[in-house]
Homo-oligomer: A and B are copies of this chain.
Amino acid sequence: MTATDRLSRQLAFSLELDRLKTILRQTLLADGSRRENDAEHSWHVAMMAVLLAEYAPGGADPLRASRMLLFHDVVEIDAGDTFIHDDKGNADKAEREMRAAERLYGLLPDDQAEEFKSLWLEYEERTTPTARFADALDRLQPIMNNVATEGGTWRPHGVTADKVLKLVKRIRDGAPALGDYAETLVEDAVRRGYLLPAALPEERPTGYPS
């Protein structure tokens, strides 16, 4: 590959990235005016990784987490955004995103395709402290925006506190102090009526032991 071919591939990928600005998430902007897109969300959480670096646990590299967050949603250019509380959509998410990663990162020169696909996989697998710290910020930011919009995404989707508290557990896994803070946010949201306190027990077939 000539130097010009290499640069052309890098710039083709750079231009393709523009499409992430058109992929909408469920989360609303903090002013409630519209849904957030993946590109601006990625910027927001990458900033939070820099600003909140001191809460990263031992062994995590917050600046690497910031880079990881820049890249973490790129696959959604092809695979689309999957709402975290959409169980059906999440069933084939991994497969759709892997196909997307092959095509998108395949636009880059091989060494970079490998490097950035690995960074994304590290994020997805959440087995390193850096990935868990990145994941914590990716969970915290929508909770903050849901509180700012008085339950913006929670209300229309009937999301209940027990579901959000599962995400708080993931925040605590990646950044304990931020998990404590997120828990107070959720408790306060329930008190203010932005979030339903808990799921109603599911109806059970007759004779099912209670």
Contacts and interface: CB of A to CB of B under 8 A. Distances in A.
A46 B17 CA distance: 12
Question: Taking chain A's interface residues, is the majority helix, strand, or loop, or is none over half, making it mixed?
Answer: helix
How many copies of the polypeptide does the oligomer hold? 2
Contacts of A177: 3, 7
Interface string A21-46: 11000000111010011011011101
Interface residues of A, number: 44
Interface stretch (A66-74, A95-103, A123-131, A194-202): A66-74
B40 A21 contact: yes
A10 interface: yes
Interface of A: 3, 7, 10-11, 13-15, 17-22, 29-31, 33, 36-37, 39-40, 42-44, 46-48, 50-52, 55, 63, 66-67, 70-71, 108, 112, 141, 144-145, 148, 177, 181
12 contacts: A3-B177, A10-B51, A10-B52, A11-B144, A14-B141, A17-B44, A18-B31, A20-B43, A40-B43, A51-B108, A51-B112, A66-B70
